[in-house]
């Protein structure tokens, strides 16, 4: 038997990682501050459903849960754009058969917790990390009644999310530097109910109502409901702040999203009752201090517009597992390699997620954008993987996010400066490949 590892946080990343490490032969304990979600409510404040794609599925595959997870999803082939006049248009994400998968956060987390316990992971619920001692690898925890306990392990992993207590302890020791950049927009979730045992709108798409400074999206659930997320500025006109002043919720929806009120009969109640949550990008480095390591949102929390936060956290677990294989479980070698290889990639997906906010709210309804997407599709059709559109590199491939970001910049530069009236598709491809090879991509 190998040593003992403590994971802080039984969210999506912590519970997945616990299974990987248990299967490698470690004794694994998890401390989770909340109740066991299998016995109660998951609690507000995070998205109800998530888009699960290639990188996340790869990690689920190594613990044998990919196919089971895929039974819990509604596949989405593309974006359904809702224009202000009510017209809708489906824009496919990738090739025929390439989909992103809408999955319930709660169902996925339950699946992972069940498997973790089946593999012999000890999960301590209602056990909140209060502080840790970086030199002795000790942890202090408290339960709901305030009773204090201590625990100790060879390695302690902080998978305790964007507001990580482990990261804050590391900061307290002066071991890591963290930045937090607020988006200036917040979000609120709303639910479109099922229509007499059917979906009220087309099920196999991610619906977007792009309205420049405002945006509404909706992802389908297997119970035939949709979870909508409304993104608004924090201040100024049409902000969450302006609603609390005017209370004109219905007017607002009729003005900007006129096809939505008929789909949500209790729109005003939901709007008033559901929490408004902020969005930010959190970066920190290093991720390792002594025998402590950060992973998932604790190390890199991003805005949700590429649907990659969980997928990136799952990819962290995939890469960590690969490095443990390569280095014979020598954690002192693995931890520095892990943070180095992941940091540039999680910084890249943070940038891409912010860029995609602009794309989703401003560009998807723009005829120029649609023309450019068609051109990229044609390049991909003619040349296959030699021209892979940026969305496909991020969502349907294993290419490092940092490489996808750089290749995306080259594509953007070429498509902005050249058009097919002047040069042919082959010349565009040649330019792209030449530039990528200059950049050693």
Ligand X SMILES: Cc1cc2nc3c(=O)[nH]c(=O)nc-3n(C[C@H](O)[C@H](O)[C@H](O)COP(=O)(O)OP(=O)(O)OC[C@H]3O[C@@H](n4cnc5c(N)ncnc54)[C@H](O)[C@@H]3O)c2cc1C
Q: Within 130-159, which residues bind ligand X (CB under 6 A)? A: 159
Q: Which distant-in-sequence residues (6+ apart) come within 8 Å of 436 by Cβ?
A: 407, 410
Torsion of CA 32, 124, 50, 94, to 10 degrees: 110
Q: Nearest residue by C-beta to ligand X? A: 11
CB 46 within 8 A of CB 37: no
Q: How many angstroms separate the CA atoms of 233 and 279, rounded?
A: 11
To ligand X, the closest distance from the beta carbon of 10 in angstroms equals 5
CB 193 within 8 A of CB 265: yes
Binding string, 189-228, against ligand X, x = CB under 6 A?
A: ----------------------------------------
| Given 5, 6, 7, 11, the residue binding ligand X (CB under 6 A) | 11
Is residue 326 within a helix (H) or strand (E), and if so which, with residue range? helix 309-326
Q: Total binding residues for ligand X by CB under 6 A? A: 32
113 counts as binding ligand X under rule CB under 6 A: no
Please report the sign of the dihedral spanned by the C-alpha atoms of residue 235, residue 240, residue 245, residue 249.
positive
Q: How many angstroms separate the CA atoms of 231 and 217, rounded?
A: 8
To ligand X, the closest distance from the beta carbon of 101 in angstroms equals 10
165 counts as binding ligand X under rule CB under 6 A: yes
| Given 104, 137, 186, 229, the residue binding ligand X (CB under 6 A) | 229
CB 313 within 8 A of CB 55: no
9 counts as binding ligand X under rule CB under 6 A: yes
Residue with tokens 């004109």: 248
Q: How many angstroms separate the CA atoms of 193 and 437, rounded?
A: 51
Please report the sign of the dihedral spanned by the C-alpha atoms of residue 62, residue 68, residue 72, residue 73.
positive
Q: Within 78-107, which residues bind ligand X (CB under 6 A)? A: none
Please report the sign of the dihedral spanned by the C-alpha atoms of residue 366, residue 370, residue 375, residue 380.
positive
| Given 22, 108, 156, 161, the residue binding ligand X (CB under 6 A) | 161
Task: Give the residues across from 228 on adjacent strands.
Answer: 190, 218
Q: Cis peptide leading into 62, omega within 30 of 0?
A: no
Q: How many angstroms separate the CA atoms of 349 and 278, rounded?
A: 19
Compute CA distances 86 → 45, 165, 214, 259, whole Å: 30, 46, 16, 6
Indicate the length of the chain as a whole number. Answer: 441
Q: Which is nearer to ligand X, 128 or 343 (CB)?
A: 128
Q: Within 20-79, which residues bind ligand X (CB under 6 A)? A: 31-34, 46-47, 50-51
To ligand X, the closest distance from the beta carbon of 423 in angstroms equals 37
365 counts as binding ligand X under rule CB under 6 A: no
304 counts as binding ligand X under rule CB under 6 A: yes
Q: Which is nearer to ligand X, 168 or 258 (CB)?
A: 168
297 counts as binding ligand X under rule CB under 6 A: yes
282 counts as binding ligand X under rule CB under 6 A: no
360 counts as binding ligand X under rule CB under 6 A: no
Q: Which is nearer to ligand X, 10 or 260 (CB)?
A: 10
Binding string, 166-195, against ligand X, x = CB under 6 A?
A: ---------------------x--------
8 counts as binding ligand X under rule CB under 6 A: yes
To ligand X, the closest distance from the beta carbon of 69 in angstroms equals 13
Q: Which is nearer to ligand X, 26 or 314 (CB)?
A: 314
Which residues of this chain interact with ligand X, rule CB under 6 A?
Answer: 8-14, 31-34, 46-47, 50-51, 128-129, 159-161, 165, 187, 229, 296-297, 304, 307-311, 313
């Amino acid at each position: 038997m190998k040593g003992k590892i403590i994971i802080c946080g039984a969210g999506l990343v912590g519970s997945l990682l616990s299974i990987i490490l248990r299967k490698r032969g470690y004794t694994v304990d998890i401390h989770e501050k909340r109740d066991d979600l299998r016995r109660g409510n998951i609690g507000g404040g995070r998205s109800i459903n998530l888009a699960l794609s290639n990188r996340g599925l790869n990690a689920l595959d190594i613990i044998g849960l990919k196919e089971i997870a895929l039974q819990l999803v509604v596949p989405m082939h593309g974006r359904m754009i809702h224009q202000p006049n009510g017209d809708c248009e489906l824009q496919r994400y990738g090739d025929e058969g390439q989909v992103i998968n809408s999955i319930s956060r709660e169902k996925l987390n339950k699946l992972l917790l069940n498997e973790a316990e089946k593999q012999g992971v000890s999960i301590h619920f209602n056990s909140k990390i209060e502080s840790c001692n970086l030199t002795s690898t000790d942890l202090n925890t408290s339960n709901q009644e305030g009773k204090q306990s201590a625990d100790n392990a060879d390695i302690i992993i902080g998978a305790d999310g964007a507001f990580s207590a482990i990261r804050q302890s590391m900061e307290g020791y002066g071991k890591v530097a963290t930045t937090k950049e607020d988006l200036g927009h917040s979000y609120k979730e709303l639910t479109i109910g099922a229509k007499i045992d059917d979906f009220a709108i087309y099920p196999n798409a991610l619906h977007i109502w792009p309205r420049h400074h405002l945006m509404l999206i909706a992802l389908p659930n297997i119970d035939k409901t949709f979870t909508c997320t409304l993104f608004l500025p924090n201040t100024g006109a049409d902000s969450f702040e302006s609603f609390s002043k005017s209370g004109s919720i219905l007017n607002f929806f009729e003005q900007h999203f006129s096809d939505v009120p008929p789909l949500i009969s209790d729109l005003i109640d939901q709007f008033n009752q559901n929490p408004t949550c902020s969005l930010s990008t959190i970066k920190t480095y290093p991720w390792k201090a002594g025998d402590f390591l950060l992973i998932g949102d604790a190390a890199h929390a991003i805005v949700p517009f590429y649907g990659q936060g969980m997928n990136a956290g799952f990819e962290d677990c995939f890469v960590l597992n690969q490095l443990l294989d390569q280095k014979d479980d020598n954690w002192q070698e693995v931890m520095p390699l892990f943070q180095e290889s992941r940091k540039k990639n999680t910084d890249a997906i943070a940038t891409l997620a912010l860029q995609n906010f602009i794309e989703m709210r401003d560009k998807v309804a723009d005829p120029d954008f649609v023309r450019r997407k068609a051109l990229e599709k044609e390049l991909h059709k003619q040349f296959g993987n030699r021209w892979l559109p940026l969305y496909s590199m991020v969502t349907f491939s294993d290419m490092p996010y940092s490489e996808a970001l750089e290749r995306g910049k080259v594509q953007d530069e070429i498509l902005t400066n050249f058009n097919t009236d002047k040069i042919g598709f082959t010349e565009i491809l040649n330019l792209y490949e030449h530039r990528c090879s200059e950049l050693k991509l």
